[in-house]
Amino acid sequence: MNREERLIRENIIAKCRWMNASGLNQGTSGNISARYKDRMLITPSATPYDSMKPEMIASMPLEGEYGSWEGPLKPSTEWRFHLDIMRGRPDVGGVVHTHSTYATVLAIARKPIPACHYMMAAFGGTDIRCAGYARFGTAELSELALAALEGRNGCLLANHGMIAVGANLEKAMWLAVELETIARQYYLSLALGQPHILGDAEIAETSQGFSTYGLQEPKAKAAKPAKATAKARAAARSKPEKKRSSKR
């Protein structure tokens, strides 16, 4: 493998270890994939992240024989929805699947998340849908997940967990954190009573604000004083000085 591919593999492993250390996931239940040219790199099945090496990451073609893979270990059992997402959405470069606590609690209750927070706009709509239930690793689960992700960058999986997708692995992981955060906030607001939900116009306004978020305009440079010409400097030197008056 070349240096570019190795760095992506190392990044996948680093993200897996981080999501477990941060509490976003537990054990080997989650899985991560990243696009690399015409292939998908994905975590292997049932392999502890602490012992994972770059060479263990499975490689799957985005075109050609569906489900074929290369590597010493089988790809994650959830390879279907990872692969189907990347095949169907060229805008996606990274997929993160976790069993994070609050997102999974809502998925168990089969509760979609409405626009309880303006950060919902980061997911491309006014809600996070909850996909119907199907056994892990099945084609049916993949179909349900793709439907829930239509026009969205995240979804819940009934009685299972959540998926977040992004243009790259960093963006996908950021959205996974945001999804778990919103799930926790929504869950706690339900405990207080009926949460206030933002309207479509308010989410659209936030989306528009996101288009310039983080863009810094360059600071205007102070105008430098014009340099005196050589002729002007010579004229100033030749000008006789005024004598000071002796009168006080």
State yes or no: pLDDT of 239 exceeds 80.
no
Residues serving a catalytic function are: 78
- Determine which helix (DSSP H) or strand (DSSP E) holds 111, and give its type and residue range: none
- Give per-residue pLDDT as tens, 60-107: 999 999 999 999 999 999 999 999 999 999 999 999 999 999 999 999
pTM of the model: 0.85
The residues pairing with 154 across neighbouring beta strands, listed in sequence order, are 164
pLDDT tens digits, residue range 197-219? 999 999 999 999 886 654 445 66
pLDDT in tens, 137-149: 999 999 999 999 9
Alpha-carbon gap, residue 183 to 177, rounded angstroms: 10
Instruction: Report the mean per-residue pLDDT for the chain.
Output: 90
Nearest to 122 by CA among 167, 189, 169: 167
